[in-house]
Amino acid sequence: MEHVAVSPWVMLAYLVAGVCFIIALRGLSSPESSRAGNRAGMIGMAIAVITTLVTHDVASLPEIGIAIAIGGAIGFVIAKRIAMTAMPQLVAAFHSLVGLAAVLVGAAAYLNPEAFGIVGATGEILTVSRVEMGLGVAIGAITFSGSVIAFLKLNGNMSGKPIILPARHFINLGTLAAILGLIAYFTQDQDPWVFWTVTGLSFAIGFLLIIPIGGADMPVVVSMLNSYSGWAAAAMGFTLHNTAMIITGALVGASGAILSYIMCRAMNRSFISVIAGGFGGDAAAAGGGTAIDRPWKRGSAEDAAFLMKQAEQVIIVPGYGMAVAQAQHALREMGDLLEAEGVTVKYAIHPVAGRMPGHMNVLLAEASVDYDKVFELEDINSEFARSDVAFVIGANDVTNPAAKTDKTSPIYGMPVLDVEKAKTVLFVKRSMGGVGYAGVDNEVFYRDNTMMLLADAKKMVEDIVKSMG
């Protein structure tokens, strides 16, 4: 692909695309503006792609058009068919594709540098291009292999518990040091063994970094991999001399890193500890993940309907179990019936509820729950003590007080929703045998003010709605 002289109009088009991407990120910060944000991002990407195709002499424009059509059709079909419960693993899978694309572009540039315009007067690849190429391939390979592990864990093909490797920190640091050292050496010697060794080690470190990370930290991993994919794209943008790709990659990389940092603060986690792999992993492995054998109270849909209809305020806490059962629409109907009875209904969202950032917000928005009824942890936590009922549907780790008291717990230190302070806690759970994604049982299940509602979440909420009628 040969590059033509860059005109001011091309730079203006890329600038407009960049502004669209910034507007998209701003729009995605709120459920109310998320649709407009998505549209702005689509417009920006269309401008960037069309401008790139028009301003470069490509080998075969029809072939590229066919590839875009095939990829677009596959993406459209997947987006239409995918269930909201599978959205986290879909995001992880898409991140892996971005990482793999960066590796393939880097490999193509290495094998045919003349086509990319990165050959110096001596006939060797420019030094600065070797740095860009090495970093792009390394970050892309880490993103790919790490995203594959994240997908397998989120999809249930691999255990969500931390898989602790002996001397993992020593191995990880040694591998990372070897990668950086080889990239530095690559600037002096472009021998094939250097390039392919960097690539192979980077694929390996992606696996090694994500395998020790348990389910409690998985939302951070998803946003972190999003950041990696952005930096990989930015690095390849330098290799391709494509301004739009650099801008887009930098925006994705920076926003993903900021989101990961914010989520770590919300979980009282160290960002460095999470990306190093397996914060709390040793404790999780020791915890065993077994349920507590203690007496508990079982309730029915009729009991729950009666208690909530008599309440002044009910706080609903959605979790991944709600997503699995697709119970959000029935839950909104239940909330509407309670409000018709004069009950104040609020929704409490933990920053890491579900399997990816904003998972619960998206599901509630899909069910047309009013945005002003949805509150984040720091805005709602103080109200549990003044509420008559806390209705927890499919959440465990984010309501587990062990995070505040048990130093051996893998979730210790993570801020949780104080549902146990409500007068009555109604817990919707499929059975008492299972434990949360982090492998820890919840002591709230066995308290005197807790009533367990054991059933499929959607069926239980539908039965409660019938009992209210």
Q: Give the residue numbers marked as catalytic.
A: 397
Q: Are 63 and 43 in contact (CB under 8 A)?
A: no
> Whole-angstrom Cα distance, residue 356 to residue 144?
18
Q: Pairing mode, if any, of strands 313-318 and 56-57?
A: unpaired
DSSP symbols for 285-296:
HHHTT-------
> Whole-angstrom Cα distance, residue 119 to residue 125?
4
Q: Pairing mode, if any, of strands 2-3 and 56-57?
A: antiparallel
Sort 326 into a burial class: Cβ within 10 Å, 0-12 / 13-18 / 19+.
middle
- Using DSSP's 3-state secondary structure scheme, residue 166 falls into coil
For residue 457, the number of C-alpha atoms closer than 13 Å in the C-beta half-sphere is 25
Angle at 249 between CA 48 and CA 149, to 5 degrees: 125
Taking CA atoms, 343 is separated from 95, 307, 308, 335, 339, in Å, by: 43, 11, 8, 9, 5
- Using DSSP's 3-state secondary structure scheme, residue 3 falls into strand
DSSP 232: H
DSSP 125: B
User: What is the number of other CB atoms lying within 10 angstroms of the CB of residue 430?
Assistant: 15
Tally of residues, the chain: 469
> Whole-angstrom Cα distance, residue 357 to residue 381?
19
Residue 83 CA from chain centroid, whole number: 16
Q: Find the helix or strand (DSSP H, E) in which 391 lies.
A: strand 389-393
User: What is the number of other CB atoms lying within 10 angstroms of the CB of residue 412?
Assistant: 16
